[in-house]
Amino acid sequence: MITALEESFRRFAVHGDTRATGKEMHGKNWSKLCKDCGVIDGKNITLTDVDIVFSKVKKKSCRTITYDEFKAALGELARKKYKDKSGEEAEAEVFKLIEGKSPVISGVTRAVASPTVSRLTDTTKFTGSHKERFDETGRGKGKAGRVDIVDTSGYVSGYKHQGSYEKKVTKPTAGRPM
């Protein structure tokens, strides 16, 4: 049975790393977890404190921490953040902050609507053959707008009485002797 805390640990451990297994967490993701979950408050706990605790709990040659080391690190931060509470109470408070959380994705690149781009993509201002590729609403016509579709009906283009030959041939012949 995975606890809510371990679930959050795994979510942050794999964040931004396609090869991550979720068993161990990088320092970058550790500080992201502390920032996103509100462990860092800027008064009692700063980004520096978080980094120091990380290097304290990890093994000497490693660059990651396991789930157990993660819990130990949270314990240290908890005692620092909630000085007036006992060790267990402080840990429980910090665990509550983290449980069920997942990484916040902020500052995702958005397309900038500059006047230049909007002028270049306004289909009402298109001229020549490019104008033919869009209907009145500005939506593209697809293949019909790019390719000349060949008329294979057998009639010359511009012939007004298209389809009238079949009617003449299949006229009922009642009243005429053979």
Mean of all residue pLDDT scores within the chain: 81
Domain with CATH 1.10.238.10 in the chain: 4-97
What pTM value is reported for the model?
A: 0.56
CA–CA dist 162, 153 (Å, integer): 9
Residue at 50: amino acid letter: V
Domain 4-97 belongs to what architecture? Orthogonal Bundle (1.10)
Give the pLDDT mean for 172-177: 62
Residue in 97, 73, 102, 106 with CA at minimum distance from that of residue 14: 102
CA–CA dist 28, 6 (Å, integer): 18
> Binning pLDDT at 50, 70 and 90, where does residue 3 land?
confident
